[in-house]
Amino acid sequence: MLTKHLQRFSRRSNELPDAALVELVDVVFRALPPIAIMGVTMVGIGALLTIRTGDSLLLLVTLAGAAVSAARIALMLLYRRRRAASRPTASEARRWDRRYALGSFAFAALLGALNARALTAEAAVADVMLSPMLVTTLILAYGAGVVTRLSARPQICLGSVTLATMPTVAGFGMRALGAEGWYAQTVFATQAAVVGVFAMAGLGLVDDFYDTVRQQIVAKLDLAALAGRDHLTGLANRIRLQEKLEEAGAHLERAGGLFALHYLDLDRFKEVNDNFGHITGDALLQAVAERLTQTVREGDTVARLGGDEFVIIQLGIQVAEEAELLGRRIVQAIGAPYDLAGRKIHIGVSGGVALAPRDGTRLEQLVSCADSALYRTKRKGRGERAFWGEEGAQLPRSVA
């Protein structure tokens, strides 16, 4: 049954959009206080039982639990620092997810080992009340917390609860078998059953919790996508462009290099609107958006600011010549004829280019610089573009 659950959750996790996966991983990494509290609780109870029993193995498990808890807290803090810089990519989120899973499984296994040892150690057996009471409290608190906190990542939740619960149930079972008298045997057997039933009931809720969280996140992403899209072309709008620019700036701080902002204005678009009407003009804008999307690389951003003005963020370049090459491809792509409603339509495009970080990193700075360069190209002639800056300010570069 557990294997079937894991297979189902694994399949559904693989079907998640990348953006939804990033959000789900982000939800898991927000829960720093519960992890710290659970770690302190485990170490405290382990220390109390060690003092009570003098068992060296309990001491070793407690120390290992303290080390794993500290490592998990450090991992959470590292993720927060990474998240503050920029939103992780899907591949990064998967790596963080695996690290979190390893820490969660290690802690759960140590918790299960602590419980089992506390119930079966010779010195603990003589303590009829304290060890069972503390173990029951610890495992029920842990199970409730994990089911509530980790339902966003059900595979981690199922594995963690299983690793912690099975040794605990086994410990109560062994305690029941070694107890003297039917009453003590019944009490320990009942505790084993209660822990097992509570674990199964909690895991039964994971499916519903996961569906609820997943649907909320997908709905949130859908709304965000709509808010960040131009209604006519489906390209990014100014809101989404700002987000992409912040991500590009954060990448520059980490990896260096350059990125280019291309500010584009269509040539003769007003003539198309005047001669053929706004319906044809809208269809032309949609066709231009499609060509621009096909021209840039994966990871670059194409946005429409309004009217016939477009912006492209070109990432991962090292020299200005790479922006110049993209400018050539854009002019060639946009300058090819359009067949709209049986009419052959010809337009062109002029552009200005700003380079970050040389010309700034904020959207307003880069757009202003690129717009100034665009204005110079419009005065010189159509089908050109210019770089803004000390070297490129004087001479537009023709790409016709």
Q: How many CB atoms lie within 10 A of CB 290?
A: 15
Would you call 159 exposed, middle or buried from its count of C-beta atoms within 10 A (0-12, 13-18, 19+)? buried
Question: What does the block give as tokens for 47?
Answer: 């220390």
Residue 370, CA distances (Å) to 254, 293, 374 in order: 25, 20, 6
DSSP 89-131: PHHHHHHHHHHHHHHHHHHHHHHHHHHHHHHHSHHHHT-SSHH
Residue 229 DSSP one-character state: B
Is residue 399 within 8 Å of residue 327, measured between CB atoms? yes
Exposure b/e, 163-192, CB count within 10 A at least 16 = b: bbbbbbbbbbbbbbeebeeeeeeebbbebb
Question: What does the block give as tokens for 21?
Answer: 């996966």
Domain boundaries, the chain: 2-227, 238-398
Q: How far apart are CA 340 and CA 10, in angstroms?
A: 46
Helix (H) or strand (E) run with residue 221 in it: helix 182-227
The reported pLDDT for the residue numbered 390 is 34
The reported pLDDT for the residue numbered 42 is 94
CA atoms within 13 Å, Cβ hemisphere of 223: 6
The reported pLDDT for the residue numbered 109 is 97
- Residue 5: closest CA among 175, 202, 225: 202
- Residue 110: closest CA among 159, 175, 49, 42: 42
Sequential pLDDT tens for the chain (400 residues):
545 554 555 545 555 677 778 888 888 898 899 999 999 999 999 998 888 888 899 999 999 999 999 999 999 999 998 887 777 888 888 899 999 999 999 999 999 999 999 988 876 555 656 788 888 989 999 988 888 888 878 888 889 999 999 999 999 999 888 888 888 889 889 989 999 898 888 777 777 777 777 777 777 766 766 677 888 898 998 888 888 888 888 777 777 788 999 999 998 898 998 888 888 999 999 999 999 999 999 889 999 988 899 999 998 888 888 998 998 899 899 999 999 878 899 998 888 899 988 888 888 888 888 888 888 777 765 544 555 543 333 333 333 3
Cis peptide before 132 (omega within 30 of 0): no
The reported pLDDT for the residue numbered 400 is 31
The reported pLDDT for the residue numbered 64 is 97
The reported pLDDT for the residue numbered 391 is 39
Superfamily name and number for 238-398: Reverse transcriptase/Diguanylate cyclase domain (3.30.70.270)
Residue 151 DSSP one-character state: T
Helix (H) or strand (E) run with residue 374 in it: helix 363-380
The reported pLDDT for the residue numbered 162 is 92
The reported pLDDT for the residue numbered 313 is 93
Is residue 83 within 8 Å of residue 26, measured between CB atoms? yes
The verdict on pTM exceeding 0.85 is: no
Is residue 240 within 8 Å of residue 229, measured between CB atoms? yes
DSSP 32-98: HHHHHHHHHHHHHHHHHHHHHH--HHHHHHHHHHHHHHHHHHHHHHHHHHHHHHSPPPHHHHHHHHH
